[in-house]
Chain A
Amino acid sequence: MTPWWAAAGEGRLLLQRCRACGHLQHYPRALCTACGGTDLGWQESAGRGVVDSFTVVHRAPSPGHRPPYVVARVRLDEGPILLTNLVGDAGWHCDQRVRLAWRALDDGRRLPVFEKE
């Protein structure tokens, strides 16, 4: 299991941090997209951010997804954007503040999702 998924299993959302320029990025890569450096480490996200945008999905892309559910882009306070789900009842709107929550997947992994702050 990669460090990112291992940390997720412990309820920690990791962002990749470039040791050369300090750039934070998600998803994890073998290089920094800001400076091209390959010396990368991790920083734990505080798990706070805003809804950049969202969509309520009404049809399942594959078995295992039960619509309706909310797919969103969350812009973390640290900068990177994640594709995620918004959970819980809320009159969702763009720029709404959200905080990290977790959902267990059938395969044992834990998935970072977000709920109303």
Chain B
Amino acid sequence: MTVAIAGAAESDLGVTGRSIMELQTQAVTGALADAGLGLADVDGLATAGVSRFSATQVADYLGIRPSWSDSTFAGGSAFEMYVARAAQAIEAGQCTTVLISYGSDQRSARSRSLAGVLEPHTPEAEFEAPYGPLYPISYYAMAAQRYLHVHGAGREDLAEVAVAAREWALLNPRAYRHGAGPLTVEDVLASPMVSSPLTVADCCLVTDGGGAIVLTSLERARDLRRPPVVVLGYGEATTHTGMATADDLLRPGSIESGRRAFAMAGLRPRDVDVAQLYDSFTITVLLTLEALGFCGPGEAGDLVRSRALPYNTNGGGLSYCHPGMYGLLLLVEAVRQLRGECGPRQVAGAEIALAHGTGGIFSTHATVLLGADR
């Protein structure tokens, strides 16, 4: 059975003054209305970042009793993982209609910490925290430093990623930086250093926000309100939590997640019309472009400068919205591009979209390939 995304929505974004549950509710009701469905139709629920019992908590709040749920906690890639799990659950007959939702009030609640969240019993707390790394940025900073060293790249290669993100944000009225005007490479280089070589402008935003999507069988989705977006393939990889575990900082698990997703879909990187790549930091984009096969090692700087591949068309985590975990919003933008409803930022004739989530410190990786139903 083929599964499709039948509805998608964002909640309020930015500095909202709303609670996690209010943002979840906005996203859920928006996505269901988009699909032309109601809460009574929902028998599957996946979400994270609410509480220890995230899916259960949201089910309680919405007043539903789903026959399938998932709260896999894998940082920003969890939502791409949920697409895979949801497709499998629908194919297996465990449920028919899955909501994947997210909401965060981290900006309004001022709940983000530079130290990250480290449980005291973990090896990282014992062997890494004494050295004072910022979590997660110092890990990405070390990956960036290694990238510059190995490929003879410059900080301007990183900066260009932030510049490109801003260009898209200027076309998206919902983007946090929509009214901020263009960003230049010089702006990024002159931004305050946080964990070298990454500056404030190399880091994603800290905002509130949320979103939701609705999945059901393609057959049923064809009878619903909006054009279906077909789940063509998915793949994931779980690699490490420690900052010293990965042997090669420049070979993240997205190499494997991407290969698995492309193999399942029977597609290649050149078939992708538009990509939504988790851009927690500028280096995340360079390494993800290379890992997914859009270019070779060390070539991502040139690929970004060329603007040849449309990616992060909403402005990304760098200039649109980054509510702690951004993975759900990658899927929302991919759906909208395939439905052709993106206005000035629409990629003409987009039929194949890729969404790639990254969680933690390049810890978890999940790739989803989506297609228009044509």
| 8 A Cβ contacts from A37-79 to B | 52-62, 65, 69, 71-73
User: Would you give the 0/1 interface string for B124-164, flagging 1 where the beta carbon is closer than 8 Å to chain A?
Assistant: 00111011111100100111011001100000000000000
A2 to B244, CA, bound (A): 20
Within 8 Å by CB of B138, from A26, A52, A57, A82, lies A57
Known A61-B115, A83-B244; contact A55-B132, beta-carbon cutoff 8 A: no
Whether the Cβ atoms of A55 and B127 lie closer than 8 Å is no
Interface size class of B (residues with CB under 8 A): 35 or more
Contacts A55-B195, A61-B114 given; indicate if A73 touches B132 (C-beta within 8 A). no
A57 to B197, CA, bound (A): 10
A61 lies within 8 A of B145 (CB): no
Q: Let me know if B244 and A81 touch, CB within 8 A.
A: yes
Asked if B303 is an interface residue, CB under 8 A from chain A, the answer is no
A111 contacts partner chain B, Cβ-Cβ < 8 Å: yes
**Which chain B residues border A65 with CB–CB below 8 Å?**
132
A59, A82, A84: which has the most chain B beta carbons within 10 Å? A59
**Taking the complex as formed, is A105 at the interface, i.e. its CB lies under 8 A from any CB of chain B?**
yes
A10 to B127, CA, bound (A): 17
Cβ of B194 within 8 Å of any chain A Cβ, yes or no, is yes
- Does B193 contact A94, Cβ atoms closer than 8 Å? no
> With A61-B133, A71-B133 as given contacts, are A94 and B195 in contact (CB-CB < 8 Å)?
no
Q: Is the CB of A55 within 8 A of B145?
A: yes
Kindly report which residue of chain B lies nearest to residue A69, judged by CB atoms.
B132
Using a CB–CB distance below 8 Å, which chain B residues touch chain A? 113-116, 123, 126-128, 130-135, 138, 141-143, 145-146, 149-150, 192-198, 242-245, 247, 249
25 of the cross-chain contacts (CB-CB < 8 Å) are A29-B123, A52-B142, A53-B149, A54-B145, A55-B145, A55-B198, A56-B196, A57-B134, A58-B194, A59-B194, A59-B195, A60-B132, A61-B132, A69-B132, A71-B131, A71-B132, A71-B133, A71-B195, A73-B244, A83-B128, A93-B149, A95-B149, A109-B130, A111-B130, A113-B131
Can you name 10 extra interface pairs (CB under 8 A) apart from A53-B249, A58-B193? A27-B123, A27-B244, A52-B142, A53-B146, A55-B133, A57-B138, A57-B195, A71-B195, A83-B242, A113-B131
Top 7 A-B pairs, shortest CB-CB distance: A61-B115, A55-B141, A94-B149, A65-B132, A53-B142, A53-B146, A56-B196
